[in-house]
Amino acid sequence: MVEAVSSFTRPRLRINGFAVLGFGLLALLIICAAFSPWLAPYDPNAQDYRAVLQGPSAAHWLGTDHTGRDMLSRLIYGSRVALSIGFTAVGLAVLLGGLLGVVAGYARGLVDEAIMRVMDALLSFPSVLLALGIMAALGPGVNTIIIAIAIADLPMFARITRSQVLTVRERDFVVATRALGAGPARIIFRHIVPHITGPVAVMATIQVGHAILTEAALSFLGLGIQPPTASWGAMMRNGFSYMERAPWLAAFTGLAILLTVLALNLAGDVLRDWLDPRGDSRR
């Protein structure tokens, strides 16, 4: 009934439906974000008061909002905001969290205790609430939302790098290198970092999706990206207030978010599969 897990020993890239779906969607999104000006049929902020709150039509495939702006164009431009915030925030969290995790795991002792207890404390705050508080303190805007999400995500990356460092540093090849007289910097960058990039990359991919959900939630609450920037969360806020007259506004915006996060989750899963072929990918 259950295949023996050990039967997958040789690393190989299994191209399955999930891989095609995940990376296909992700590629499509990146193209949308990179080439927005060429792909969007209209200017995302061009108002047209003769075409207000129109349903999907040949002229406006996904309809128009309360000021006659083209939804498809706004969604395409919104992918820029979502992806750039997601990748930058997680990138920051990986760098800072990774650094803290490596230092904690390598130094151990009191340094490790101090760093990890602060991470535990940050992890105790519900991430949306922590981000809300930071946004309120720093004021709304793209940069603060990136900082807020990065701080909320920091502890996770610190934890995963630390635990990886703790395992790798006791492996024979690291012990041998140390015995040969290599200093900590050399050991960390030449031997430990390459070994931990896999699990961190998997987690980062999935966290980008999570960051996009958090951004959408903050902007939906009115504390994130401010209008008129075409951000998916702010568009959802607008769609919510026109829920009865123009249901397509919220519907399409949510679908865009859902497909983006799904693509990132699928990609993360497939990556894990490729990096650790012995384990079951979808645990």
Partner 1 sequence: MLGYLLRRLASAAVVVVLVSIIAFAIVSVLPGDTAAALLGEEGARNSERYQLLRQELGLDQPIVVRYFTWVAHAVTGDLGQSLRTGEQIGPAILARAVPTVQLAIMALLISVVIAIPVGVISSVYYRRFPDHLGTLFALTAIATPGFWFGIMLIMLFSVTLRWLPPSGYLPFFQDPLGSLQLMFMPALALATGFTGVLIRQVRSSVLEVLNEDYITTARSKGLSPAKVLFGHALRNALLPVVTLVGLQLGALFGGAATVETVFSIPGLGRLAVDSIFFRDFTMIQALMLVLALTVLFASVLTDLVYSRIDPRIRRG
Q: Which chain residues interact with partner 1 by CB under 8 A?
A: 1-5, 17-18, 113, 117-118, 120-130, 132-137, 139, 209, 213, 216-217, 220-223, 236, 239-240, 243-244, 247, 250-251, 253-254, 257-262, 264-266, 269, 280, 282-283
CA 241-243-248 angle, 5° bins: 120
- CA torsion sign for 163, 167, 168, 170 is positive
Q: Which residue number, 130 or 174, has a Cβ lying nearer to partner 1?
A: 130
Q: Which is nearer to partner 1, 177 or 265 (CB)?
A: 265
- C-beta of 206: minimal distance to partner 1 in Å? 9
Could you tell me the smallest distance in angstroms from the CB atom of residue 48 to partner 1? 25
Quote the least distance from Cβ 264 to partner 1, whole Å: 8
Least Cβ distance, residue 183 to partner 1 (angstroms): 29
Nearest CA-CA partner of 230 in 51, 85, 79: 79
Taking the C-alpha atoms of residue 250 and residue 235, their distance in angstroms, rounded to an integer, is 7
Q: How many Cβ atoms from other residues are within 10 Å of residue 124's Cβ?
A: 9
CB closer to partner 1, 150 vs 187 = 150
CB-wise, 76 or 236, nearer to partner 1? 236
- Where does residue 23 rank: exposed (0-12), middle (13-18), buried (19+ CB within 10 A)? middle
Contact predicate 159/101, CB 8 Å: yes
Distance (Å, whole) CA 191 – CA 177: 9
Minimum Å distance from CB 50 to partner 1?
27
Q: Closest CB to partner 1 among 41 and 279?
A: 279
SS3 state at 55: coil
